[in-house]
Amino acid sequence: MFTHTSALVMHGVAIWGASLDRVHVTRLDGIGRTDAGVVHHEGRVAEAETTTAGGLLVTTPGRAVVEHASLTSVESGLVSADSALRRNDLDFDQLARQFMSMEHWPGTRRVHIVVRLADGRAESAGETRSRYLCWRHHLPAPELQFEVYDEFGLVGVTDMAWPERKLLGEFDGKIKYGRLLKPGQEPGDVVFAEKRREDRLREITGWQMVRLVWSDLEDAAYTASRIRRMLFRAA
C-alpha cells in the first residue's frame, strides 16, 4: 500500500521540502525496511484510512498528510496540509481527527503545529511558506485572500493582508504568472497588468504592499525583519 509522501503524490497534493527519490509503502506484516529505493514502513492501517488513486491502494489524504509531516518538517507538512484542504481532499475536522488517532506515533510530535496552522485558503506552496515564515518569526498572522473593494465593487484579492497594520502582501512565483496568462498574451503583458492591479489596490486602500518571491523564503530571517519594519512603519 502506498503511504506517506508517495500517497500524497498519487492524490495530487502539493509537496515541498521532501525527497521524492524513494517510494513509501506500508507493510501490514510487521516488517519494516528500506531497499532498492523503497521504504517499507510497518504499521496498522484501518479500512477507513485506505482508498485508491490511479487504481492503486493508498492511504487517505488525511492519513497521508500526517504520515508525511511525521517524516519531514512543520513547513513541509503544512504545504501538503494546506494543499489537501484547498483541493477539498479532506476538511479540517478530518485532519484533526486523523492526527488525534496517530498523535502518539513516532515522529508525530511536530504534527500538532501543522494541524493548528493548516488553512486551505493558501493557494500555493509559496503562500503557505510565506505564512509559515510569519509564524516562525513571531510576526502577526496575515489574513488570507483579502478582498479590496471600491465604490463599484470588488477590485482585487491579495494573497495576504494585515488590515490593522495597513499592509497588503503577495507571493509572486513564476507559476502564478503562467496561470494568469491569457491566449495571445505575453508574460510581460501579465506583469504589467499585475503592476497596474497593485497600484490600484494601493491607491484604494492607501496601504503599503510587500511582495515576496522564492528567494525571500530562503533568507527567512532577513525577510521577516523586512516585513516587521513594514508592519510597524505602516501602523
CB 204 within 8 A of CB 155: yes
CA distances from residue 218 to 6, 84, 199, 215 in whole angstroms, order as listed:
25, 24, 27, 5
Q: Are 172 and 191 in contact (CB under 8 A)?
A: no
Per-residue pLDDT in tens (0 to 9) along the chain, 235 residues: 999 999 999 999 999 999 999 999 997 765 556 677 888 888 789 999 999 999 999 999 999 999 999 999 999 999 999 999 999 999 999 999 999 999 998 889 899 999 999 999 999 999 999 999 999 999 999 999 999 999 999 999 999 999 999 999 999 865 454 455 556 556 565 666 777 888 899 999 999 999 999 999 999 999 999 999 999 885 5
**Domain definitions of the chain by residue range:** 4-119, 132-234
Enumerate residues 6+ apart whose C-beta is below 8 A from 223: 133, 212, 216, 217
CA distance 58 to 1: 5
pLDDT value at position 177?
47
* Nearest residue to 4 (alpha-carbon basis) of 111, 158, 150, 139: 111
Look up the pTM and report it: 0.88
State residue 227's pLDDT score: 97
Residue with cell 523564503: 217
DSSP state of 164: G
DSSP secondary structure string for all residues of 193-224:
HHHHHHHHHHHHH--EEEEE-HHHHHTHHHHH
Residue 163 per-residue DSSP state: G
Determine whether 200 is exposed, middle or buried from the number of CB atoms within 10 Å of its CB (0-12, 13-18, 19+).
middle
- Which residues, in sequence order, are CB contacts of 74 under 8 Å at separation 6+? 110, 113, 114, 117, 132
- Which parts of the chain fold into alpha helices (H)? 4-11, 61-71, 74-86, 92-102, 111-117, 125-136, 174-180, 187-205, 214-218, 220-234
Euclidean distance between CA atoms 104 and 227, whole angstroms: 37
What does the block give as the cell for 12?
A: 495530487
61-71 and 74-86 are packed helices; what angle lies between their axes, rounded to 10 degrees? 160
